[in-house]
């Protein structure tokens, strides 16, 4: 029974109340919170990973998933995973950058042109650089980043065909300094809101537009409150799977190996799910009434250069990180 001391008393008590016949609680009972609906591939693959971990650790490690902002918005969950209130969280790069600024580097506007560039950077030196920075904040970042996707712009007003169409547009962006800076540079009027507020703020017209990858627009049913989707591909965004540093260190090495393998493998499968969804989702969204257009990137890039966006963020991220990004995508600024 010595091992039970690692488990919070409340979770033992509630576990036993729920399953009075089962006398043994898991030795490590961990909570994982995220911001996405259960139908998103991130939740489907994470549940598979949790099942595999329970099986391969013979019940010693149990991960309970709290999807869809059940534990609060991203800002709350980031605080909880730091304090140990939850043990796992998958913040987008944009969101964890409020704590680890360099983590937003993959989200520099129009940096990546395709997934081969994305994964060579994030599975390579740039990803390692960001993971090390996350580690300094007493969070452990698993090796494989999970995919969110290339972010696209939706609006209830009009299609975005060039940078001019963003002028003054009230657009929701995540709680992310880089997103605010980018959309201000593009001439829009961005507002940071937690993802949990997006649907209702579009519905009540607090904002007219938002930007997210197509699979999210689909699973969060944003097509119900938006008319136009412009495939701007302006940011590539991914999720860092992070663990509270102390909770991670509590796991004996053999359990760490099992947990890391299950989570990293699930991440690779989740990337493949998103790749396939990207191909099928457009037809589905059109059938649901979204009008799709495909703007060229030139006017947006030109406007960002003019506004000093690249020069400013090169300075903020520093030459080392910027150089690693440019190794994958070519010269940016």
Written as one string, the DSSP assignment of 143-162 is SSPEEEEE-EEEESS----S
CB of 328 to ligand X2X, least distance (A): 21
Choose between 28 and 236: whose C-beta lies nearer to ligand X2X.
Answer: 236
Question: Judged by CB under 6 A, does residue 216 bind ligand X2X?
Answer: yes
Distance between CA 163 and CA 76 in Å, rounded?
33
How far is Cα 233 from Cα 223, in angstroms, rounded to an integer?
18
Window 180-199: contact mask with ligand X2X (x via CB under 6 A)? ---------------x----
Cα–Cα distances (Å) from 244 to 81, 138, 262, 287, 320, in that order, read 5, 7, 17, 42, 27
- Applying CB under 6 A, which of residues 26, 53, 95, 163 lies at the interface with ligand X2X? 95
Contact (CB, 8 A) for 189 and 168: yes
Nearer to ligand X2X, 40 or 60 (CB): 40
Closer to ligand X2X by Cβ: residue 35 or 233: 35
Give the C-alpha separation, 72 to 69, whole Å.
5
Q: Select 37 or 59, whichever has its Cβ closest to ligand X2X.
A: 37
- In this structure, the strands spanning 28-33 and 61-66 are parallel
Q: Which of 15, 174, 190, 215 binds ligand X2X (CB under 6 A)?
A: 174
Minimum gap (Å) between residue 212 Cβ and ligand X2X = 5
Contact with ligand X2X (CB under 6 A) among 30, 32, 35, 65: 35
The verdict on 218 binding ligand X2X (CB under 6 A) reads: no
Sign of CA dihedral 205, 274, 140, 176: negative
Size of the site for ligand X2X (CB under 6 A): 9
Residues forming contacts to ligand X2X in the complex (CB under 6 A) are: 35, 92, 94-95, 148, 174, 195, 212, 216
């Amino acid at each position: 029974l010595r091992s039970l001391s690692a488990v919070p008393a409340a979770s033992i008590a509630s576990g036993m109340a729920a399953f009075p016949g089962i006398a043994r609680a898991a030795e490590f009972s961990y909570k994982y919170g995220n911001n996405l609906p259960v139908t998103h591939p991130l939740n489907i693959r994470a549940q598979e990973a949790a099942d595999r971990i329970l099986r391969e650790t013979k019940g010693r490690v149990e991960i309970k998933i709290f999807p869809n902002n059940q534990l609060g918005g991203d800002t709350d969950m980031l605080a909880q995973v730091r304090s140990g209130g939850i043990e796992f969280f998958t913040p987008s790069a944009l969101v964890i950058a409020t704590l680890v600024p360099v983590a937003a580097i993959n989200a520099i506007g129009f940096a990546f042109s395709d997934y081969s560039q994305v994964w060579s950077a994030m599975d390579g030196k740039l990803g390692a650089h960001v993971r090390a920075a996350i580690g300094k904040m007493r969070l452990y970042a698993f090796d494989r980043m999970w995919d969110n996707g290339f972010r696209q712009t939706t609006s209830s007003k009009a299609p975005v065909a060039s940078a001019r169409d963003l002028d003054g547009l009230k657009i929701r962006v995540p709680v992310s300094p880089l997103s605010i800076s980018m959309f201000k540079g593009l001439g829009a009027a961005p507002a940071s809101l937690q993802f949990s507020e997006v649907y209702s703020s579009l519905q009540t017209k607090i904002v007219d537009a938002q930007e997210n990858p197509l699979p999210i627009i689909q699973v969060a049913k944003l097509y119900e409150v938006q008319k136009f989707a412009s495939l701007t591909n302006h940011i590539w965004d991914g999720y860092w799977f992070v663990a509270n540093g102390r909770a991670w260190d509590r796991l004996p090495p053999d359990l760490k190996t099992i947990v890391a393998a299950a989570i990293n493998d699930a991440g690779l499968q989740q990337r493949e799910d998103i790749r396939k969804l990207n191909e099928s989702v457009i037809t589905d969204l059109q059938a649901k009434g979204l009008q799709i257009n495909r703007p060229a990137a030139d006017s947006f890039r030109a406007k960002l250069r003019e506004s000093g966006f690249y020069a400013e963020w090169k300075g903020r991220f520093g030459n080392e990180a910027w150089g690693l990004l440019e190794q994958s995508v070519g010269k940016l600024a």
